[in-house]
């Protein structure tokens, strides 16, 4: 097991990464003196795989265990699922001495975190991420949210977990498509923050897709280190943390317009990263060679390159509701070569995206 800390003063917390860690959960909860009443939140796909393991180890350690199982998928990241958690908590007479534990991917983690932030004005929660995307990104940093029909993650709160316990063995049951979707967020960290890591991914993307444990642990650790450092410096996304949204501006538009869950989040981010790289090259922030390397790594990870056929006007309408829009001006993250990025205001989004989405450019 490897460990690191998200440094937020009195609200600092540990991230533990390794294999076969789920059954160690009771020891960590006791060490942190967290409540002995636990509400486990999972979904219909993950629960049959891991819920009983976690329930049994907690019960054996004298924790009182309750559980709620949500529908699966991005389409369920909504107010109805949030209300399902609230209803379970209220009917079970849960008070502030209740711990919420998110057992699942990014959707489960985001909803559970938002429920924890708002139930009785705040109860503690812990992340047990079971997807690669959640392990390298959404479980760390305290962004919690649900989707709205008019936009992704528009309703939420910054609310930090007390612990993130990452067991890479859970990736053995992850479908190949979901694994590739998680790799999009891994690539993101290399592009925006660490050129050496990007090169490491070029060498070892096949090892990751084969689920080789030492490579998975290394990739998860490197991503979490980058994110932990960014969150410690800019918890509520006033500056540097916005760079973590590389590929997300256009990616979120794809997700919403295609219908949540039709295009996986990581797939949409992959396409968004390629569009962002094309824009960066047109603005002379990177070279065509950089764009080609990004394209080739995205393809090597089994991710799509060509966005679906969507109306440019519809995409622009969605992007102008993005959280990074300020005073009606669209801002997006663009890479500076590989290993660095910046937030750039897009003066004429219609023209910029029309050029970046030209098929001959996207295909290289």
Numbered residues of the known binding site for Zn(2+): 185, 248, 265
**188, 222, 225, 227: which one is catalytic?**
227
**91, 93, 121, 363: which one is catalytic?**
121
2 catalytic per annotation: no
**78, 147, 153, 245: which one is catalytic?**
245
265 catalytic per annotation: yes
Residues 173-196 as b/e (b if ≥16 CB within 10 A, e otherwise) read ebeeebbbbbbbbbbbbbbbbbee
245 catalytic per annotation: yes
227 catalytic per annotation: yes
**185, 255, 267, 281: which one is catalytic?**
185
177 catalytic per annotation: no
282 catalytic per annotation: no
**162, 188, 225, 265: which one is catalytic?**
265
**162, 188, 225, 248: which one is catalytic?**
248
30 catalytic per annotation: no
Nearest to 6, CA basis, from 145, 143, 164, 128:
164
Element (H, E) at 66: strand 64-70
218 catalytic per annotation: no
121 catalytic per annotation: yes
93 catalytic per annotation: no
Query: What are the binding residues?
Result: 72-77, 106-110, 130-131, 143, 152, 170-173, 185, 248, 265
Query: What are the binding residues for NAD(+)?
Result: 72-77, 106-110, 130-131, 143, 152, 170-173
**143, 188, 222, 225: which one is catalytic?**
143
User: DSSP letters of 115-174?
Assistant: HHHHGGG---EEEEE-SHHIIIIITSS-EEEEEETTEEEEEEEE---SEEEEEGGGGGGS
**55, 178, 237, 267: which one is catalytic?**
237
120/97 Cα distance (integer angstroms): 10
Q: Tell me the two tokens of residue 221.
A: 């650790």
Q: Who contacts 310 (Cβ-Cβ below 8 Å, separation ≥6)?
A: 253, 254, 257, 258
Q: Which residues are catalytic?
A: 121, 143, 185, 227, 237, 241, 245, 248, 252, 265
């Amino acid at each position: 097991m490897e460990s690191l800390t998200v440094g937020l003063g009195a609200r600092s917390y540990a991230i533990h990464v390794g294999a076969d860690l789920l059954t160690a959960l009771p020891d960590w909860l006791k060490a942190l003196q967290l409540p002995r009443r636990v509400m486990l939140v999972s979904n219909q796909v993950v629960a049959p795989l891991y819920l009983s393991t976690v329930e049994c180890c907690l019960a054996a350690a004298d924790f009182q265990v309750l559980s709620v199982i949500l529908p699966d998928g991005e389409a369920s990241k909504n107010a109805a699922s949030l209300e399902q958690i609230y209803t379970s908590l209220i009917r079970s007479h849960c008070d502030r001495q209740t711990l919420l534990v998110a057992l699942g991917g990014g959707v489960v983690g985001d909803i559970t975190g938002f429920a924890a932030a708002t139930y009785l004005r705040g109860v503690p929660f812990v992340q047990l991420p079971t997807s690669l995307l959640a392990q390298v990104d959404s479980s760390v940093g305290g962004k919690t949210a649900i989707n709205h029909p008019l936009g992704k993650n528009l309703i939420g709160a910054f609310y930090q977990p007390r612990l993130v316990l990452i067991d890479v063995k859970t990736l053995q049951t992850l479908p190949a498509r979901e694994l590739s979707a998680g790799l999009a967020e891994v690539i993101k960290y290399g592009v925006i923050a660490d050129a050496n890591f990007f090169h490491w991914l070029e060498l070892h993307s096949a090892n990751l897709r084969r689920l080789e444990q030492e490579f998975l642990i290394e990739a998860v650790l490197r991503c979490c280190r980058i994110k932990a450092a960014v969150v410690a410096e800019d918890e509520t996304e006033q500056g540097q943390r916005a760079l973590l949204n590389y590929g997300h501006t256009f990616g979120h538009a794809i997700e919403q317009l295609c219908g949540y869950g039709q295009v996986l989040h990581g797939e949409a981010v992959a396409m968004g990263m390629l569009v962002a790289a094309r824009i960066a090259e047109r603005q002379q922030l990177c070279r065509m060679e950089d764009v080609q390397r990004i394209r080739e790594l995205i393809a090597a990870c089994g991710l799509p390159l060509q966005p679906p056929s969507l109306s440019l006007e519809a995409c622009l309408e969605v992007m102008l509701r993005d959280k990074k829009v300020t005073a009606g001006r669209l801002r997006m993250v663009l890479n500076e070569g590989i290993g660095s990025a910046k937030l750039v205001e897009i003066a004429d989004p219609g023209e910029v995206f029309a050029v970046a989405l030209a098929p001959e450019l996207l295909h290289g």
